[in-house]
Amino acid sequence: MTAPCFEKLRLTLLTLLAVVCCFSPTTASAQGKPLKVFILAGQSNMEGHAAISTFDYIGKDPFTAPILKEMRNPDGTPRVCDNVWMSYLTGPYDGSANGEGLGKLTAGFGERGNQPTKISGKIGPEFTFGIYMEKELQEPILIIKTAWGGRSLNTEFRPPSAGAYKLPMETQEVWDKYPQGAHGVPKLEDRKKWQADKDAASGVFYRMMVDHVKMVLADPERVCPVYDEKAGYELAGFVWLQGFNDLVDGQTYPNGNYEEYSRLLSHFIRDVRKDLSAPKMPFVIGVLGVGGESENESFRKAMAAPADMPEFKGNVVAVHTAPFWDHDIATAEPKRGEYDRIVGTAHTLKADGTFNREWKWESYWKPLGQPLPEERIWRFITVDATEKKDTLETYDARRFRDITLPTGMENWHMPDFDDRKWTEGKAPIGKGLWDHSGIKLGKFPSAWGKGEFLLMRTSFEVESLNFDAYRIAVLARQGFHVYLNGQKIHTYIWWQDKPQYGSIVLGEEQIKHLKIGKNVLAVYANDQYERDSTEHYAAVDVWIEGITKADKERLDLALEEVLSPKDREALKGASNGGYHYFGSAKIFAQMGKAFAEALWSLRK
């Protein structure tokens, strides 16, 4: 081929390549098409609590398996949508530390707790919404999502045109019956402050939502690099997924009458359109489907009602999410509570505080070492906090804390620490009367003493380490540290309202501190007292147990009576409570797809 011919061919190929690039989706906005902007807003279900770990479950159902293929790359990793950009404003429950998460749409734009700017391990409806909207439009998309857990439409998301919050007549009549306050009713002299607080909270999150959308749209290129300023943008749709806090608010909606929600949502639709200068913006109502189609019918009707109003015909649609409720998970979920209770309990007690040796699940795990736990001698001492930073002047439910110990006791948990001057006795070591759940603990082998904080040590001899797994069996009302041979193997910082021995399974990092021969176990804990009482009570006992492979197989087989293999398989698709649609990616994936399809229908 001659040089001129080669050059002509080269120029032709470059021209064709340029033409192809001009029609690439990533440059569609540069071809005169406005950037499509979608707004997603709501409370915790819009945040999204579906763990990525539940993705596999989507593929178990032939009906939803195709959705999973859209959500994943061939290697199984979550897909990244090169043509969809996210701005996600969220934050803690009270919105006190909001942050903006930015980036191309992928898994991880779900609930983020106290790290709003960081990709999480969860999704909401935004993931499949963006995937299917991108598939339909074949052009760049910007999603602006704002969501906070625990926010109601009647207060925090209250739209401006709805007016001030006012108690329903039925509720006011109840309040009038209790001027001194009772049953959650504030006293007469406190009601002005109650109304002032309600007014102050009203609309706060509505304004945060609108302000954030306006901020993003003031400079779309900051979020979406392919934005073409000349082509501009189009507010192509709004998706609202909220409702739980209103559903359970009997004060605002007495006797299950949710007509007020319909009124509020109608105002909400009008106000967001007005405030964002988009009078005909398509609007999707994600109708809360918690409980499935047999639950919460009156609330679901109230949520959907605005879509049937003449003024919203053709540009507002209600998408019912109840059909996506997973009944297999719903059936298994209550059983998981019983299952978790069993595996989380090492030993139960009778009403008089003695061991219940007849408990069905008692015999699989065996105490490790000699002497047996009931024969072991502990050495212990109690101390009080002496430094101001360590003391509590008033009752606090979360009372466990580390304090500065007396001089010379810094290494109290180490194996070679000299504890010969401490008190000796058997466990449980306790004080007062721990009366809970029909079980009374008040007669203890060893008396705790006066101090608030307890330090206790014992040793046991181990001949062999031939168990398949190990756990801590612990009786403790409050938090605690557990040390094994000088190494901390567990910390619990809350309180427990169950006078039973809890089960804490140890991992490899903790098990490695066990050894043949002498082992030293040490525990740090504190006592407890009631809010309106000076009476202190507590009980602490700890030991380590093991289970053989054969016994573990026997236990697993027996536990199938509580949680069947089918139930366990279903629960692989769940990662949270029922009010969060079980934290199931299968449910959230179907919702996101349905929201996208509903907006297509409105746009057409």
Query: SS3 letters for 459-482?
Result: EEEECCCCCCEEEEEEEECCCEEE
The predicted pLDDT at position 396 comes to 60
Do 245 and 392 fall into the same domain? no
With bands split at pLDDT 50, 70 and 90, how would you rate the model's confidence at 21?
very low
The predicted pLDDT at position 305 comes to 98
**Does the residue 126 lie in any domain?**
yes
Which CATH number fits the domain that encloses residue 430? 2.60.120.260
**Does the residue 138 lie in any domain?**
yes
| Token couple for 418 | 């000299």
Which CATH number fits the domain that encloses residue 56? 3.40.50.1110
Beta strands in 74-186 (DSSP E): 84-90, 99-104, 122-123, 141-147
What kind and span of H or E run contains 107? none
Residue range 446-487, pLDDT digits in tens: 999 999 999 999 999 999 999 999 999 999 988 999 999 999
CB 519 within 8 A of CB 462: yes
**Does the residue 391 lie in any domain?**
yes
Q: How many CA atoms within 13 Å lie on the side-chain side of 218?
A: 6
Spatial separation of the C-alpha atoms in residues 324 and 332, rounded to whole Å = 16
The predicted pLDDT at position 184 comes to 79
| Token couple for 318 | 């209600």
Q: What sign has the CA pseudo-torsion 325, 328, 330, 333? A: negative
Q: How many CA atoms within 13 Å lie on the side-chain side of 138?
A: 2
Residue range 256-314, pLDDT digits in tens: 999 999 999 999 999 999 999 999 999 999 999 999 999 999 999 999 999 999 999 99
Q: How many CB atoms lie within 10 A of CB 106?
A: 19
502, β-bridge pairs: 345, 474
Do 85 and 110 fall into the same domain? yes
Residue range 106-121, pLDDT digits in tens: 999 999 998 999 999 9
For residue 309, give every residue at least 6 positions away whose Cβ sits within 8 Å of its Cβ, in sequence order, or none: 266, 316
The predicted pLDDT at position 394 comes to 66
**Does the residue 397 lie in any domain?**
yes
Spatial separation of the C-alpha atoms in residues 367 and 468, rounded to whole Å = 13
pLDDT of 17 higher than 50: no
Do 343 and 478 fall into the same domain? yes
The predicted pLDDT at position 531 comes to 67
Do 305 and 404 fall into the same domain? no
Spatial separation of the C-alpha atoms in residues 321 and 72, rounded to whole Å = 23
- The string of DSSP letters for 181-223 reads -BTTBPPGGGHHHHHHHHHHHTTHHHHHHHHHHHHHHHSGGGT
CB 337 within 8 A of CB 303: no
Residue range 206-258, pLDDT digits in tens: 999 999 999 999 999 999 999 999 999 999 999 999 999 999 999 999 999 99
pLDDT of 22 higher than 70: no
For residue 332, give every residue at least 6 positions away whose Cβ sits within 8 Å of its Cβ, in sequence order, or none: 563, 566, 567, 568, 570, 571, 574
- The string of DSSP letters for 240-292 reads EE--HHHHT-TTTSGGG--HHHHHHHHHHHHHHHHHTT-TT--EEEEE--TT-
- How many domains would you assign to the chain? 3
Task: Report the pLDDT averaged over residues 132-145.
Answer: 97
Do 585 and 544 fall into the same domain? no
Question: What burial letters (b/e) apply to 289-311, b meaning 16+ CB within 10 Å?
Answer: bbbbeebbeebbebbbbbbeeee
Spatial separation of the C-alpha atoms in residues 274 and 276, rounded to whole Å = 5
Do 144 and 247 fall into the same domain? yes
Do 188 and 254 fall into the same domain? no
Residue range 396-408, pLDDT digits in tens: 656 788 999 999 9
Domain residue limits at 378 = 339-559
Residue range 85-97, pLDDT digits in tens: 999 999 998 888 9
Helices marked H in 428-579 — which ranges? 508-511, 549-559, 565-571
The predicted pLDDT at position 432 comes to 92
286, β-bridge pairs: 241, 319
The predicted pLDDT at position 16 comes to 39
Task: Find tokens 């229908």 and name the residue.
Answer: 601
| Token couple for 44 | 């915790």
The average confidence (pLDDT) of the chain is 92
Do 302 and 413 fall into the same domain? no
What kind and span of H or E run contains 156? none
Percent of the chain exceeding pLDDT 70 equals 93
For residue 551, give every residue at least 6 positions away whose Cβ sits within 8 Å of its Cβ, in sequence order, or none: 364, 365, 366
Residue 39's Cβ-count burial label (10 Å; 0-12, 13-18, 19+) is: buried
Do 378 and 444 fall into the same domain? yes
The predicted pLDDT at position 10 comes to 47
**Does the residue 363 lie in any domain?**
yes
Do 431 and 542 fall into the same domain? yes
Do 267 and 369 fall into the same domain? no
Residue range 543-553, pLDDT digits in tens: 999 999 999 99
The predicted pLDDT at position 118 comes to 97
pLDDT of 98 higher than 60: yes
**Does the residue 13 lie in any domain?**
no
Do 220 and 183 fall into the same domain? no
With bands split at pLDDT 50, 70 and 90, how would you rate the model's confidence at 390?
confident
pLDDT of 29 higher than 60: no
**Does the residue 344 lie in any domain?**
yes
> Position 580: which residue type?
H
With bands split at pLDDT 50, 70 and 90, how would you rate the model's confidence at 19?
very low
**Does the residue 571 lie in any domain?**
no
CB 226 within 8 A of CB 27: yes
Cα distance between the two ends of the chain: 53
